[in-house]
């Protein structure tokens, strides 16, 4: 056997029996995407814009079973996004809205083969006041297959010092006086929201965070896309009641999901969701353009 043939055979055997290569997903950036069509209002655009769609040809992402995670890759970003939804459900209002600015560090540990625990250090922002603060958070995803909601704990003392009560009281009294406020197509087809309608966009976004928190798993990454419509309903107490149809974008599947929401809000009680229902596909209507 010639020397050249021996070399070729050795090289072939080495490639066939060696360790498989490890591939990683592209980094996730929280910056602007001009083509997203998401609102550029009140300096909040980049918190709700969509990251570029993942091509099918991209290699599989690296999901580490345990240990430190790259904060710019999907496993850490998905867990951190859940923290944003949690903050909105606990502390959000028409005048106080939370976004995810940056993930500083992330660590994941499997728990009893039925759940996965993420420990995160993130920088969040109260968008309306443009106040940033560091948060320590834990997110526990269920892996039992029973579709339980993620359990979240978060400590964000700096952000919670933001006092929006005067603005909330003013908006509350405005709604009480008018008796019925409504809006549709927030944002419109050009990504714009009338400044007078911005509190309704914020309010619907906070209410939608209840859906996104409830539906989030390790395999989703939800963003608010549009308020198709929102209408104030008559109420028998101090709580304002709203009916809303919202569009949510799962950036992993690239699906636009339509949901109906019935919720209440007051400065004293915050946002409380009474009903949420995902609309079947045959009821979906495309977002309308506002002229």
Which residue ranges make up each domain of the chain? Answer: 25-283
Work out whether strand 222-233 and strand 240-250 pair parallel, antiparallel, or are unpaired.
Answer: antiparallel
- Residue whose pair of structure tokens reads 């969701």 in the numeric block: 273
Does domain 25-283 sit in CATH 3.10.450.10?
yes
Work out whether strand 67-69 and strand 255-266 pair parallel, antiparallel, or are unpaired.
Answer: unpaired
How many CB atoms lie under 10 A from the CB of residue 6? 10
**DSSP single-letter state for residue 252:** T
Asked whether the beta carbons of 116 and 110 are under 8 A apart, the reply is yes
How many CB atoms lie under 10 A from the CB of residue 1? 6
Burial of 134 (0-12, 13-18, 19+ CB in 10 A): middle
Helix (H) or strand (E) holding 122: strand 115-126
pTM (2 d.p.): 0.77
What is the chain's pLDDT, residue by residue, as a tens digit (291 residues)? 444 433 333 333 433 333 333 233 334 333 333 333 333 333 343 334 433 333 333 334 444 457 999 999 989 999 999 999 999 999 999 999 999 999 999 999 998 878 999 999 999 999 999 999 999 999 999 988 777 899 999 999 988 888 999 999 999 999 999 888 999 999 999 999 999 999 999 999 999 999 999 999 999 999 999 999 999 999 889 999 999 999 999 999 999 999 999 999 999 999 999 999 999 864 545 444 433
Asked whether the beta carbons of 237 and 208 are under 8 A apart, the reply is no
From first CA to last CA, the distance across the chain in angstroms is: 79
């Amino acid at each position: 056997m010639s020397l050249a043939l021996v070399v070729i055979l050795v090289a072939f055997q080495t490639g066939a029996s060696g360790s498989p290569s490890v591939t990683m997903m592209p980094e996730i950036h929280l910056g602007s995407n001009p083509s997203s069509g998401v609102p550029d209002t009140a300096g909040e655009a980049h918190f709700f814009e969509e990251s570029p769609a993942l091509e099918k040809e991209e290699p599989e992402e690296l999901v580490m079973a345990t240990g430190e995670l790259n904060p710019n890759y999907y496993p850490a970003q998905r867990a951190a996004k859940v923290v944003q939804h949690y903050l909105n459900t606990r502390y959000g209002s028409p005048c106080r809205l939370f976004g995810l600015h940056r993930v500083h560090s992330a660590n994941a540990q499997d728990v009893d083969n039925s759940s996965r625990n993420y420990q995160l250090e993130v920088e969040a922002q109260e968008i309306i006041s443009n106040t940033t603060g560091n948060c320590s958070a834990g997110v526990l995803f269920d892996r039992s297959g029973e579709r339980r909601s993620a359990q979240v704990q978060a400590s964000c003392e700096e952000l919670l010092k933001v006092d929006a009560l005067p603005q909330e009281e003013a908006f509350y009294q405005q709604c009480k006086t008018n008796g019925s406020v409504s809006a549709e197509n927030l944002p419109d087809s050009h990504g714009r929201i009338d400044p007078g309608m911005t509190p309704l966009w914020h309010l619907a976004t906070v209410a939608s965070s209840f859906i996104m928190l409830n539906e989030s798993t390790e395999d989703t990454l939800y963003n608010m896309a549009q308020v198709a419509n929102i209408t104030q309903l008559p109420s028998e107490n101090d709580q304002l009641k709203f009916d809303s149809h919202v569009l949510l974008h799962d950036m992993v599947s690239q699906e636009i999901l339509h949901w109906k929401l019935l919720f209440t809000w007051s400065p004293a009680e915050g946002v409380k969701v009474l009903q949420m229902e995902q609309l079947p596909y045959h009821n979906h209507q495309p977002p309308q353009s506002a002229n």
